[in-house]
Each structure stands twice: as C-alpha cells, then as structure tokens.
Structure 1
Amino acid sequence: MLISKNVRIGRIISGTGRYAMFDLLICVVAFFLNEYVVSQYFAFPAVIPTILGTALAFFVGFNNNQSYDRWWEARKIWGAIVNDSRTWARQVIHYTTASESLSEQELLNLRHTAVKRHIAFLYALKKNLRKSDVKEHGRYISPEEFAEVEKAANVHNAILSYQSTFIEDLYQRGAIDGFRFMEMNRMIVNFCDEMGKSERIANTVFPTTYNYYTRSFIWIFIISTTMVTANAIGYWSILFGALVGYVFLTTHSVGQALVNPFEPLPTGVPLDQITRTIEINLLQMLGETDIPEPVQIIDGDYIL
C-alpha cells in the first residue's frame, strides 16, 4: 500500500515510461499515415474522436470505480480481521477459567495454543490469497496439527475447525459458560465470513473484456485525435495526440493497479504489515518476549 503523500518523478517515469514511448510512436505513425495516405482522399472527421473521447471518459471512470471498490472492500475486510483477532485473543485469555477437569497450567497452555493457532490461520489465509508457497503458519501450530491441516484443500479453514473444537472442549470441561461459548463461536463465524469475502475477491477475475476493449478504444482515440489535429496544427499534432493519449492511458492504468488488491504490489492491501501487526499484538497479549519486528517501509513509499 502506498503511504507516501508525494509522487516521485522516478516512480512516474518507471511506471508509465514504456507505454508513453509507445504512445508517442503511435502518434508519429498516425500523423504520417494521415499526411501521405488518408488526406489524399478525405479529411478525417472530427466527430469521431469527439464522441469516442466522451464515451471513453465514462468507460474508464466506470472501470476505475469498480477497481477501487474491490480494493476498498478488501481493505475493510482486513480491518475487521484486525479487530476480531484482538477480540478473539482477549476472549481466550479473559473468558476462560480453570475448572475441576482443567488445571491452571493446562488452561494456560491451551490459551497459548489457541491464540498462536489464530496467527497460523492469518498466515495461511495470506498464503492462499497471494498464491504463495511460503508456509509461515507452520511456526505457530504443532507438527501434528500442521501435518493434518496440510492434507486439506483449504488449510486456513481446517485451522478454524481446530478452533471450534477448542471452544467445544472448553465448554464441555466447564472452562466457559454458554454465553461465553456463543461469543467465542461468533468470533469464529466472523473469521469464516471474512475469509470467504477475501477469497471471493481473490478468486473473482475482473472481466478481461473491460481491460481489452478499453485499451483498444484508447488507441483508436489516440490515432483519430492525432489525425484530426494534424489538419490544423501540423507536426504539433504528434505531441498533442501523445499528451491526450498519455492522460487516458495513465488514468486507466491507475485503476488496473487496484484490480487485484491482494497481490504483493505497492498498490495492494498490505497483508504482510497487517498480519505482522496482529502477530505482534497477540504475542504481547500472551506475555511473550520473542516479538518479531514490524514490517518495514520500502523506499519510503510503500509497504507490502
């Protein structure tokens, strides 16, 4: 996620330089095509870029709105995961009490296991959303549990099942009452909902036709704009067409950068930073001393 309030010139050039040069090349070709071929037969009608530009403005705006909606929904989902994770740890630590069949030491071990298992759930979910091969969740569950959940097609869902078994066991052994059982179970339901919403965004492909046709129409618009203005301002139409095309191409690219919010990109949702923050918070709530460092900002511009 971008955190810098200023946009560096270097970032603009590196992000848009490739298609800016191609944009300029297309305008040069369009100018000479109009100068030596099209103008010999007819004057390119100005109504074409006028109508096409208006339609493109609405089309690009719609695409960008939908892309931002995906990104913002993903960010809200993971904001809710942060809050629910802290609530879950608080419930595990403060709602549970020792009973005749559950000693203080055994309860303390179960608390640590449940909270750390939740951290494993977060890392497993992040791994799935980013299509990663790194199995960071293995650090927070036992080898036996790790072997079992790895057999499942949905690892993070399998970890949640262990949490359900955990609170059921606490209830059966008198460590929590019925009300607290329902509250803790509600947190597990929340995690399941947030997990499903994240998977929906990650697995729903933004229609490729939107991107394909938008880009195609932008190039047609650039060519037609260059040809129309060539009749009035000559060689300057190359620069004019390139500038107009650059604006449309950049605006469209900004929206496309938000289409896949869970990708490890500067514009994506910072899953590394969010999961690490939750990890730190939960370990501190357990009184652990071996606390990992927060995720660092990259180049002073963004955080993953």
Structure 2
Amino acid sequence: MLLPGQSLRGLDPVADKPEELSQEEDLRFILSQNNKPYALLMLHMNDLKELHQQDAINAFQQVQLDSTIVRLCDSMGKAERINNTVFPVTYSLFVHFFIYLFLVILSLALVETSGWYEIPLLTLIASTFFLIEKTARNMQDPFRNRPTDTSVTAIARTIEINIKQILQQPNVPKPLAPEEFYLM
C-alpha cells in the first residue's frame, strides 16, 4: 500500500503494505518507477480501462472516474510543487532585517513616551514578531514529519474509510488518532 504522505515526506511509500491491497506484479511495477504515487495512478487507469472493456462500467462511469483520477493527479502535482519549492536564504535575512529596523525605529519613537516601560514593551513586540517569523519558517515546509505538517496520512485514511463505506466493505478502518496532540 502506498501511504500518500510518505512519498512527500521522503520516506518509503511502499512500507507496511497490506497483502490484500496490491498484487505482486503491481508492486514490482510501482517499485520500478521513480514516482511511485504516479505509478499507482497509472495502475488505477489500467484497471478502469479493463473494467470498461469488460462492460463492468459504462462509458459515462469511466469518464467520471477518469476525471476523478485526473483531479487527483493534479492535486498530487500541486503538493509536489509545494514540497519542492525552495525559499531563498535572502527571504529570511530580509525578514530579520526589517524586524530589527522596525524595533530600532519603534524604540526611538517610544523614548519620550514610555519611559521605563520601553524595554519590556520592545521585548514583547520583538518576541511576537520573531515567533511569527519562526512559525512562517516552519509552515513553509508542510511535509517534513513535524507536528505542524499537513496531515496527509489522516486525510488519506478518511478517504479510505469513505470509499470502503460506500462499497459496503466489512473491514472499515478506524480514523487515525492524534499522536501527542497532532495528526500526521
């Protein structure tokens, strides 16, 4: 089983595969490809083609399912582009420069008005801006296996639950439980 978040996180996406979810030839095909999630989508497209040839689904159903897979592929590409976006080092340097510049100008403006409150006030304001900057830095990489990451594994589990319920399968898994206050 391909775990959707594993590939984006740089982990092995075919680890811990349940036997009932993939055939050995499909697994060999997936392992031979560089982009394993895309390889899985290609296998789904082949299955749709076979179902249509066997008249298990009609042309309208095939078009609708094909459209769904295309949208899934588009979303996968968007997530990969987000994952591969590199923020230049100058971005962080400029942010720090402007925070320091703002604090210097603010301290000069507060000299006459705040008196001995100036240092605690500047410390509070500086802490706020630096915390915001640190939060932004952590959020710019949403697939790095941290608590602030996008919970793609939990989203995939919810989709799996929904599909199994629609198909009325008996072994519907439970939703993922948070690990120490967060979902991965």
Once the 2 structures are TM-superposed, how far is the Cα of residue 137 of structure 1 from its aligned partner? Answer: 6.9
Structure 2 residue 182 is matched with structure 1 residue 302: yes
AA matched with 1:131: G
Identity %: 29
Once the 2 structures are TM-superposed, how far is the Cα of residue 237 of structure 1 from its aligned partner? Answer: 3.7
Once the 2 structures are TM-superposed, how far is the Cα of residue 149 of structure 1 from its aligned partner? Answer: 0.7
Q: How many residues align?
A: 182
* Structure 1 residues 272 and 208: alpha-carbon distance in aligned structure 2, compared to 1, 3 A threshold: same
Structure 2 residue 9 is matched with structure 1 residue 130: yes
State the TM-score, normalizing by the size of structure 1. 0.52
Q: What is aligned with 2:73? A: 192
| Ranges in structure 2 where 5+ consecutive residues have no aligned partner | none
What's the C-alpha RMSD, in Å, of the aligned pairs? 2.8
The structure number with the bigger radius of gyration is: 1
Once the 2 structures are TM-superposed, how far is the Cα of residue 236 of structure 1 from its aligned partner? Answer: 4.7
| Ranges in structure 1 where 5+ consecutive residues have no aligned partner | 1-119
Does the 8 Å contact 1:223/1:241 carry over to 2?
no
Match among 145, 157, 161 for residue 276 of structure 1 = 157
Q: What is aligned with 1:115? A: none
Does the 8 Å contact 2:51/2:57 carry over to 1?
yes
State the TM-score, normalizing by the size of structure 2. 0.80
Q: CA–CA distance in 2 between the matches of 1:183 and 1:203?
A: 30
Q: Counting helix residues as a fraction of each chain, which structure ranks higher?
A: 1
Q: CA–CA distance in 2 between the matches of 1:229 and 1:163?
A: 64
Q: CA–CA distance in 1 between the matches of 2:46 and 2:53?
A: 10
**Larger RCO: Structure 1 or Structure 2 (Cα < 8 Å, ≥ 6 residues apart)?**
1
Q: CA–CA distance in 1 between the matches of 2:60 and 2:8?
A: 34
Once the 2 structures are TM-superposed, how far is the Cα of residue 152 of structure 1 from its aligned partner? Answer: 0.4
Once the 2 structures are TM-superposed, how far is the Cα of residue 225 of structure 1 from its aligned partner? Answer: 4.4
Match among 132, 135, 140 for residue 259 of structure 1 = 140
* Structure 1 residues 132 and 198: alpha-carbon distance in aligned structure 2, compared to 1, 3 A threshold: same
Once the 2 structures are TM-superposed, how far is the Cα of residue 214 of structure 1 from its aligned partner? Answer: 0.3
